[in-house]
Every structure is written in C-alpha cells, then in structure tokens.
C-alpha cells in the first residue's frame, strides 16, 4: 500500500516554489490591513510561509484525488485523521518521537495483507517511532517540516500576483503559478497577520489545502486503551 503523504508539488512546482506550500487563517472582526499585497510575488509567498511557521501550530485540511486529511499540527505534535480512497482511514497521533496509529477495518485489512501478519487492529493503537520505516511513512502526512523549514519561492519563478479577493471569509492576495493550461494558486491574508490561508490546484500532482486556527494547542497525548508495537517493515 502507498502510505506516504502526497507531495505538495511536482518537480516543476518545486523548482518554482519548493515542496511545501500550505495556507489559511481566520480574520478577527477588527483585523487591520497588513499591506502584504504591496510586496513582490516572492516576498508575498515567503512572508506567508514564514508567518505560518511562526504561528507555532495550525489546522491543515488536505484533499487530492480522493485522499483527505484533517490534522492539527505543530513542529512536535500531530493529531487527526487520514482517509485514502479504497484503502480505508486511520487516526494518527504524534508527540515528539512517538507515533500512534489506529486504523479502520479496511485500512487494517490492507496493511495486514501487505505485511503478511496481523499487525494492525481496529481495537488497538499501533506505536512506533520515526526510525520505523512504516510509521515514518504514516507520519509523513503530518507535514511538520512546514515549521522547521518553511518553503520559499525561488527567484526564477514565473508566478504572478493577482488582485485581492475574498477567500475563506477574508481578504487575501493570490499568487498564481500557471503552466501548460494548469495552475496552482496560493492565497495570503491581507488583513491581520499575513498567513497562507489556502492552496487551490488544477494539477493532478498537487493537492488543495486550507490552513486555519493558528496558534491553538494541538493537544497530542498518548492514547488510552490497548497499544501494540509496530512491526519492522
């Protein structure tokens, strides 16, 4: 089974904007203009990514080709769910170097079949660390590199700046990268702090993303109930 999280961009997008675009924020009623739309395309993108990282945590919702995730993230924590088309779903908790996963019946059946052993159960949490290849792949959905190494737009990018518009209920400036009839658009909030609030892509190899709830507690903690150690894969 393919377990690794979707990349945030293809080689083309990486060469233009790195590998980890992300986005989103909710403006307070009194949010003031921040002027980010007056900056260059590169400055807008880089400011948004840096602001997200500096928030310390946020909620990331992702969808691509049926794959979905809804996760609260920080540099050291991750809590939420991942759904894979025809492969089932799993809950995930990461706190520091500890990773726990609890699958639904479809995901458990597929994993056990691939491994040749009954290592996953809907009744138990499976525990491991990033040194375990299998658990590291599952934890890759948490995209925690967004905090330690926020993405940047390269100087040679052909991205362009659009007009300020309303996205996720607030004003934002779009940064658009278009090529061969396909595009990816990143939106940066123009009121309050200049967070990335959304990514929308028409490309098959890139996902749609929204980030929100910046700075809130992730609340990761070891799960209650039965826990088993992950098999070596």
Express each pLDDT in 192-221 by its tens digit.
999 999 999 998 888 999 999 999 999 999
pTM for the full predicted model: 0.85
216 neighbors 57 (Cβ within 8 angstroms): yes
The pLDDT value recorded for residue 118 is 87
CATH architecture of 11-212: Clam (2.50)
What is the spatial distance between Cα 23 and Cα 203, in angstroms, rounded to a whole number? 17
Structural domain spans, the chain = 11-212
Q: CA distances (Å), 51 to each of 14, 163, 189, 215, in order?
A: 20, 21, 10, 11
Asked if the model's pLDDT at residue 28 lies above 50, the reply is no
DSSP H or E segment with residue 74: strand 67-74
Higher pLDDT, 31 or 201: 201
Whether residue 18 is predicted with pLDDT greater than 80 in this model: the reply is no
Per-residue pLDDT reduced to its tens digit, 79-136: 999 999 889 999 999 999 999 999 999 999 999 999 988 889 999 999 999 999 999 9
């Amino acid at each position: 089974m393919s377990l690794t999280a979707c990349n945030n961009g293809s080689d083309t997008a990486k060469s233009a904007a790195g590998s980890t675009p992300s986005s989103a924020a909710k403006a307070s009623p009194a949010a003031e203009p921040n002027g980010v739309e007056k900056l260059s395309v590169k400055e807008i993108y880089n400011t948004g990514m840096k602001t997200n990282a500096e928030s310390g945590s946020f909620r990331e919702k992702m969808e691509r080709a049926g794959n979905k995730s809804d996760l609260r993230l920080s540099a050291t924590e991750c809590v939420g769910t991942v759904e894979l088309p025809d492969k089932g779903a799993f809950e995930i908790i990461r706190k520091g170097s500890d990773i726990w996963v609890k699958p639904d019946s479809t995901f458990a059946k597929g994993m056990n079949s691939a491994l040749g052993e009954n290592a996953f159960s809907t009744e138990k949490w499976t525990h491991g660390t990033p040194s375990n290849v299998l658990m590291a792949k599952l934890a890759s959905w948490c995209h925690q590199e967004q905090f330690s190494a926020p993405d940047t737009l390269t100087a040679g990018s052909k991205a362009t700046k659009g007009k300020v518009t309303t996205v996720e209920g607030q004003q934002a400036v779009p940064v658009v990268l278009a090529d061969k009839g396909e595009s990816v658009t990143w939106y940066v909030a123009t009121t309050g702090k200049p967070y990335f609030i959304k990514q929308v892509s028409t490309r098959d190899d890139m996902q749609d993303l929204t980030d929100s709830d910046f700075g809130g507690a992730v609340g990761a903690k070891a799960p209650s109930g039965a826990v088993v150690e992950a098999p070596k894969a």
